């Protein structure tokens, strides 16, 4: 089976750290005084990127970003482009410098320098890749070709290299987050989601996918590619028909289905789970967390009904597809044409050296990350972030204490959960040890296979022990942030703690409207429609009274109904249920950050912010939030995101939030005559 190499981030929404404090003990040193020049503009905001001809109450996103949106072009090798992309490209340059320096050293075998240099060098050695052709993959292809029975196919599923109708991974047990359990979920599709197979509007993507499958067989010198492609597409369509929707698959009350191995085997006996789990080292677990039981059951029936020959073609195609980057250029280009150009509208593939940087930075991420942190994340940044997180946490604590719709019993539980949030900023306390990983200078295919095995074996070893709370879901150079409900941790890697999100020399309003609102967003995930189902220990527990639960759901339903009306592509709409957690995170995050910003002003400036460039402090705060989310999309990428991304498109992460906030109306003089206006009784406030 193609394993889900899951860490504790399986159910996570990445975030930052911050202890709870009181009004008396919390301090905030962030941006109290500017000690140098802000990197963007004079005070952290791109004034030239605004379009002041747009009335902010009609389209605040365009008002804040319109000139930038009008004058910026998406690079040919990108499906979308925005502030996240710019920051990621900057981090990429820094990582490339590190990789180049490490690779140039005369390194001893087994050292980080040798591993980094040889992994990058083997990726860039396209002459050897072309010369070897399919030879590195041949033993795996021969293994597929030798299968004669469904039992043989199951044996291939029970490896880490092959695609299957389900995936498995190792996560903390939601019933007891001090120990690990095994997660089992639906899988097996080559297109991004079930809707690509089932919706009529997506017929052109299915046609292109069928042609791509046939092309892969042709490149591999296997006859009958068109017939095989038709069979594979039909097989995957059947699997899609039993798959759960994205919205259902993020509903913890629906996907939390623990069962012992014999019950899992009864659910889908065709897969012979006892034998497969034993082969993977995943037997002996008390319960397995089965996310979509009916999909697993339905896939088992499809597996039995489908001839072995079809499964062999299916597995051959997916093995070649998933390893195309390590195969001759024709495989790589064909795969880009499908997944980059057709599905996302990207015009050109990224240069191979940059893709190699991302390969090394991902697979040996913490090796590179140690150097990145030393060079680009000074201790002062970490301290400033800790102060920001502390102030955001205190602001949310105050909001919780005064929420009128929450009863005292639920409020006490919420405050307890907030008090136990674990903040993680910049980088892990302990770095990954790669000493057991073998990397060869002329074997990119083998290197990737060994990295996959290394990562999987590390997870299997973890299964027998207590949960490692120090493990990070990504290396420190990553431009992202997340909340993990199973650990009750908020994590901010060093990569995102750069302008426009965070700049110690920027105006305080910019830092609070940027990284402050992102911090609030991640804290808010602990209390969104799914995160609120977990308690302070990360265990699934209903700590809500029925009355307060009903009040929360009424507010969430009204917010979801707003987002259901947003349509960035004609005929396609945001799914308010699927994006609910992120929308609650955005709305609550800005509310928390706004409260924290005014706490900061009370502490430093008698509650008053200066007017800068004709803009009040509140105006600068909301503009900073809008600047963070400026982004351009290619239409195919936007369609893909509407289908598979739980985040709303950027214009709604701006306009959809501010139109619910009274402070925004006051800051920009928004009234009934403006397009974004909502009557006070229709504005949603949750946190």
150 shares its domain with 82:
no
Q: What pLDDT is recorded for position 21?
A: 31
- Is it true that the peptide bond before 500 is cis, omega within 30 degrees of 0? yes
CA dihedral (586, 587, 593, 597) positive or negative: positive
The reply to whether 126 falls in a domain is: no
Q: Burial-class residue 571 by CB neighbours within 10 Å (0-12, 13-18, 19+).
A: exposed
321 shares its domain with 182:
yes
Residue among 561, 570, 557 at smallest CA distance from 642: 570
24 shares its domain with 72:
yes
147 shares its domain with 257:
yes
191 shares its domain with 336:
yes
**CATH number of the domain where residue 160 is located:** 1.10.1380.10
664 shares its domain with 555:
yes
Q: What pLDDT is recorded for position 24?
A: 31
The reply to whether 389 falls in a domain is: yes
505 shares its domain with 627:
yes
Q: What pLDDT is recorded for position 33?
A: 35
Q: What pLDDT is recorded for position 36?
A: 77
**CATH number of the domain where residue 573 is located:** 3.40.390.10
User: Partners of 661 in the beta sheet?
Assistant: none
Residue 70 burial (CB count, 10 A): 11
55 shares its domain with 162:
no
Q: What pLDDT is recorded for position 9?
A: 32
622 shares its domain with 674:
yes
146 shares its domain with 61:
no
563 shares its domain with 651:
yes
| Structure-block tokens of residue 587 | 């709305």
Number of domains in the chain: 2
From 308, 329, 349, give the residue that closes a domain. Answer: 349
Residues of the chain with pLDDT under 50: 1-34
The reply to whether 597 falls in a domain is: yes
Rounded to the nearest 10 degrees, how much is the dihedral formed by the CA atoms of 100, 102, 106, 107? -140
Mean pLDDT of the chain: 93
The reply to whether 117 falls in a domain is: no
* 389 within 8 A of 423, measured Cβ to Cβ: yes
669 shares its domain with 529:
yes
How does DSSP assign 559-605, residue by residue?
A: HHHHHHT--SBTTB---TTTTHHHHHHHHHHHHHHHHHHHHHHHHHH
The reply to whether 208 falls in a domain is: yes
Residue among 273, 396, 316 at smallest CA distance from 143: 316
Element holding 242 (H helix, E strand):
helix 225-242
Backbone φ and ψ of 178, nearest 5°: -85, -10
pTM, whole model, 2 decimals?
A: 0.93
The reply to whether 233 falls in a domain is: yes
The reply to whether 286 falls in a domain is: yes
Backbone φ and ψ of 589, nearest 5°: -65, -45
Backbone φ and ψ of 289, nearest 5°: -90, 105
Q: What pLDDT is recorded for position 554?
A: 98
The reply to whether 660 falls in a domain is: yes
Domain range for 68: 20-86+379-421+499-682
Give the model confidence (pLDDT) of 621-636 as tens digits. 999 999 999 999 999 9
From 349, 368, 397, give the residue that closes a domain. Answer: 349
Q: What pLDDT is recorded for position 106?
A: 87
């Amino acid at each position: 089976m193609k394993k889900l190499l899951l860490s504790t981030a399986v159910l996570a929404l990445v975030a930052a750290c911050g202890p709870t404090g009181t009004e008396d003990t919390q301090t905030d040193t962030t941006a109290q005084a500017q000690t140098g020049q802000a990197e963007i503009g004079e005070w952290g905001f791109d004034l030239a990127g605004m379009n002041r001809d747009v009335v902010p109450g009609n389209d605040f996103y365009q008002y804040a970003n319109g000139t930038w949106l009008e004058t910026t072009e998406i690079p040919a090798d990108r499906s979308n482009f925005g502030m996240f992309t710019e920051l990621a490209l900057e981090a990429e340059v820094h990582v490339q410098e590190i990789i180049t320096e490490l690779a140039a050293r005369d390194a001893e075998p087994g050292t980080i320098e040798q591993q980094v240099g040889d992994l990058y060098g083997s990726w860039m050695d396209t002459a050897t890749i072309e010369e070897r052709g399919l030879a590195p993959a041949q033993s795996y292809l021969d293994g597929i070709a030798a299968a004669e029975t469904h039992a043989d196919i199951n044996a291939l599923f029970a490896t880490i290299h092959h695609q299957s109708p389900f995936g498995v991974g190792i996560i903390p047990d939601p019933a007891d987050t001090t120990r690990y359990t095994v997660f089992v979920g639906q899988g097996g599709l080559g297109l991004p989601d079930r809707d690509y197979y089932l919706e009529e509007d997506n017929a052109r993507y299915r046609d292109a996918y069928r042609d791509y499958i046939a092309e892969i067989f042709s490149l591999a010198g296997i006859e009958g590619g068109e017939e095989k492609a038709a069979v594979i597409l039909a097989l995957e369509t059947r699997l899609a028909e039993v798959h759960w929707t994205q919205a259902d698959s993020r509903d913890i009350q629906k996907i939390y289905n623990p069962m012992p191995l014999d019950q899992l085997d009864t659910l889908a006996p065709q897969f012979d789970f006892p034998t497969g789990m034993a082969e993977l080292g995943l037997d002996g677990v008390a319960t397995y967390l089965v996310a979509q039981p009916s999909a697993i059951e339905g896939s088992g029936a499809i597996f039995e009904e489908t001839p072995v020959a079809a499964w062999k073609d299916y597995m051959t195609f997916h093995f070649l597809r998933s390893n195309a980057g390590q195969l001759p250029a024709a495989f790589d280009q064909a795969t880009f044409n499908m997944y980059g150009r057709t599905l996302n509208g990207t015009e050109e593939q990224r240069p191979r050296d940059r893709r190699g940087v991302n390969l090394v930075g991902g697979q040996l991420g913490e090796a590179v990350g140690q150097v990145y942190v030393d060079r680009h994340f000074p201790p002062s940044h970490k301290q400033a972030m800790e102060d920001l997180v502390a102030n955001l946490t205190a602001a949310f604590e105050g909001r919780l204490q005064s929420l009128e719709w929450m009863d005292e019993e639920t409020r006490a539980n919420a405050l307890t959960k907030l008090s136990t949030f674990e903040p993680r900023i910049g980088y892990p306390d302990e770095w990954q040890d790669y000493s057991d990983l073998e990397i060869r200078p002329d074997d990119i295919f083998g290197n990737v296979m060994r990295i996959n095995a290394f990562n999987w074996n590390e997870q299997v070893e973890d299964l027998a022990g207590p949960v490692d709370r120090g493990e990070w879901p990504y290396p420190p150079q990553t431009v992202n942030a997340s909340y993990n409900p199973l650990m009750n941790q908020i994590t901010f890697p060093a990569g995102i703690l750069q302008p426009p999100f965070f700049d110690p020399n920027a105006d305080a309003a910019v830092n609070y409207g940027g990284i402050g609102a992102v911090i609030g967003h991640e804290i808010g995930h602990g209390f969104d429609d799914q995160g609120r189902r977990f308690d302070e220990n990360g265990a699934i527990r209903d700590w809500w009274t029925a009355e307060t639960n009903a009040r929360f759901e009424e507010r969430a339903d009204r917010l979801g109904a707003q987002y259901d009306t947003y349509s960035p592509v004609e005929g396609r709409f945001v799914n308010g249920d699927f994006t609910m957690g992120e929308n609650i995170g955005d709305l609550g995050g800005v509310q928390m950050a706004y409260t924290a910003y005014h706490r900061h002003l009370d502490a430093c400036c008698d509650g008053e912010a200066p007017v800068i460039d004709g803009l009040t402090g509140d105006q600068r705060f909301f503009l900073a939030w809008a600047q963070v989310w400026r982004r351009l999309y290619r239409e195919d990428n936007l369609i893909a995101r509407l289908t598979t991304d739980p985040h709303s498109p950027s214009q709604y992460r701006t306009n959809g939030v501010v139109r619910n906030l009274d402070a925004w109306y006051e800051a920009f003089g928004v009234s009934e005559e403006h397009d974004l206006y909502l009557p006070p009784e229709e504005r949603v406030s949750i946190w």
